[in-house]
Amino acid sequence: MKTFNIQAPDEALRPLIQEKIDNLNKPKGSLGRLETLAMQVCLAQQTLTPSLAHPCHLLLGGDHGIEREGVSVSPREVTWQQMINFTKGGGGVNMFCRQHGFHLRIVDVGVDHDLSQVPDILNCKISLGTRNFLHEPAMTEEECTRAFTVGIDLVDATHTEGSRLLSIGEMGIANTSPSSIWMSLFCHIPLSECIGAGAGLNAQGIGHKQAILQQALAHFEEQYPNAPTTDVIRYFGGFEMVAAIGAMLRAAELKMLILVDGFIMTACALAACQLYPEAQAYMIFGHCGDESGHRRMLDALHVEPLLSLGLRLGEGTGALCAFPIVDSAVRMMNEMNNFHNAQITKYF
């Protein structure tokens, strides 16, 4: 598997950043969360004048073999149908990207449909969906490496274009199932407490989903006792999810900011941080979604999301909704005057 050289931000700049924040013409600490967010952004970029230039949103699509077990209320054809819809500008992700000026890349990493002739979808397909992890690993080691590489290459392209902030969304029916298992294994939380309704399962459906995932987990633990993180990722993950992990790690290596979306992308961030804990310094967690267990996963990472809007759409929409708050923190650093220049008596 690809290795990364991810460095934690140099803390030597912290006192200078704090001095600049404290000397803006406002009471000390009066902009609250914006001040701590500005500190994180400045440290990540190692500058007193941060930038959110050319923000890019990756929308990664992939299907999951476990969907065949009836763990989702939505059938798998919704994945490819929505991918085509995104190219026509009709999705929630399209609306928010337009609103906030994000360049949207729509990427087929493993959708179970031929999208190769659809304009505006990047064809990075590894396979027509993953295998059913109830019976076997979702992907081979070679496929897992290829999925990582897709994410890396996408980030390299955005970085070359000047992007300094990345958000990632996903489209893949049944991807809450691998996310729940990753959460259980990485956070050491009983699987039953990690499983939710996904796209809208009722109580009976949630019970069926729990039984299937519990059986799959038991099979995995029997085959792979004390499995390393890489095996957990490969056995259960979707191609779009593994690509997201690769993208997050490459972005952190390049010191780009990573705006993290809801339950699925938080599970990917959790997996990425299991491999490289230093990557978390570059992650901003956009919101706490409505999927059961998301708050507990955020707590396990010791992070507080910027928003809590009850969202569970996916696609990266929660991350995009949080972008204006990050933008405000950066504008505070770059556009707000200080006491000296404004000729205002420092009143604290």
Do residues 65 and 239 make contact, with C-beta atoms less than 8 angstroms apart?
no
Catalogue the E-assigned strands of the chain.
Answer: 56-62, 103-110, 121-123, 165-171, 257-260, 283-285
> Among candidates 261, 298, 348, 285, which has minimal Cα distance to 30?
348
On the 0-12 / 13-18 / 19+ scale of CB atoms within 10 A, 25 is middle
Q: Which value, to the nearest 10 degrees, does the dihedral of the CA atoms of residues 179, 123, 54, 20 take?
A: 30
The region, left, alpha or beta by phi > 0 then psi within -120 to 50, assigned to residue 106 is: beta
Determine which helix (DSSP H) or strand (DSSP E) holds 337, and give its type and residue range: none
How far is 313 from 185, CA to CA, in rounded Å?
Answer: 24
> Among candidates 201, 183, 209, 164, which has minimal Cα distance to 49?
164
Q: Is 315 a catalytic residue?
A: yes
Give me the catalytic one of 240, 253, 291, 315.
315
Q: Please, which residues have CB within 8 angstroms of residue 51's CB and are 6 or more apart in sequence?
A: 45, 164, 330
Does the CA dihedral 133-229-258-197 come out positive or negative? Answer: positive
Tokens encoding 268:
């990917």
- Burial state string for 167-190 with b = 16 or more CB within 10 A and e = fewer than 16: bbbbbbbbbbbbbbbbbbbbbebe
Count of Cβ atoms closer than 10 Å to residue 270 Cβ: 22
Tokens encoding 123:
């064809």
Residue 102: phi, psi to the nearest 5?
-90, 140
Catalytic positions, written as ranges: 315
